[in-house]
Structure 1
Amino acid sequence: MTGASIDLNADLGEGFGRWRLTDDEQLLSVVTSANVACGFHAGDAPTMRRVCALAAGRGVRIGAQVSYRDLAGFGRRAMDVPPGELAAEVAYQIGALEVFARAAGSRVSYVKPHGALYNRVVRDEEQARAVVEGVLLAGGRLPVLGLPGSRLHACAREAGLPVVEEAFADRAYAADGTLVPRGREGAVIHDPDTVVDRSLSLARHGTVTSLCGRTLSVRARSLCLHGDTPGSVGLARRVRARLEEEGVRVEAFA
């Protein structure tokens, strides 16, 4: 495939108070889109302000990474939140980040769910509609970043919101194209060479090998690089360098 292009996104601002998980400054020298934690699974006001300022200064697009209210569980625990409450909380998170994005001379350019909420809205119609309602409640028509074929994207399209398909080079895929749950063996791919090769395959050919060995078609406009894994900065640099060496344009979707 010639003329291929891909956005690189990473979850940033995932700290709280004195605790920091991601190397935001270094990752912002690699990625083109920043999924900024909005205070519900990680992040706080000073962290959001700092990351927005860094992202705006480097021309990186700012996205609201919304989640269930679950600081203790890092947003990765299953929760049952009434749809109306979830919609309000999604809008709240987007609005909080927008204040700091605008103060930095930028804006919130898209929305991406995090963790348990991300996985839930792949199949759960009610929760997916609540997330979309929250995006609309926050104002504007922000693109929604998520898994191809998800209920979230179906609901977003019905509401007239743009959707952006996302792929993962360091997460194992099931045969149906969904992500293997993190609790299962092999769900996270740790070998750097494998992650780099999968990144190129996704960007150039739109394919990835599932956990069971099946070749899947995953047409994605954005590739997620997890910032909370050991050696994430070095791996992100390797991925970007390999893509550019192979003629893939690395550019933001938003």
Structure 2
Amino acid sequence: MADLFWLSESQMRRIEPYFPLSHGMPRVDDRRVLSGIVFVIRNGLRWRDAPADYGPPKTIYNRFIRWSRLGVFNKIFAELAGKGPGPERLMIDATHLKAHRTAASLLKKGLFPRRIGRTKGGLNSKLHAVCDGEGRPLIMLLSEGQMSDYKGAALMIDQLPEAKVLLGDKGYDADWFREALAKRNITPCIPPKANRKIQIDYDKVLYKQRHKIENMFGRIKDWRRIHTRYDRCANTFMSAIALAATVIFWL
């Protein structure tokens, strides 16, 4: 098939150092299997519908699940994003990802939360992200859909890289968040909420650059198994998001 996706040799060389070691029999061709994983996630296919060019669907599925549990895809994203140039400008935002009934219909089982919540839009998850000035994701966090923006920011603030300014919408207009940024010598470019007694000035021209993080969410949501969540386990869904962000922005 002419429209199949294949990772290039140069791309494989960049991510191979983060693969787990193979024990016993050699693994099936990493490039073929990983390309198949990307193809399935991007096109929203069932694993059984993966094209035969990528090998047995069970091999592709098992590799994705096993490496997701090991945190391989999250590590690849974190390492490649961390090696980028130090950003002068950061952007923060969050978006909802609808949970399909196959992911949200069963009661929660196991030790780990599934990160699926209920809002007016139904059952969904929420992806919080911090990007650099070019709209490339640096930090990502998956939470229940009802979690507020500033609570997500509280979970990510300790991981913020050094920067001069941070752009965010009104959902991040909280005194504690502005104070936390000031301690890090980061200037907030956040419009104040309408109910503030004393309005806070911000750079309206610079704020227009915030569309780049919206564009980032749009590009990640183009991958159909991310736009709609089919994975019950939060770690596998987050691995799909990390893999998409890596392929789109860091390879």
- How high is the TM-score relative to the length of structure 1? 0.30
- How high is the TM-score relative to the length of structure 2? 0.30
Higher helix share: 2
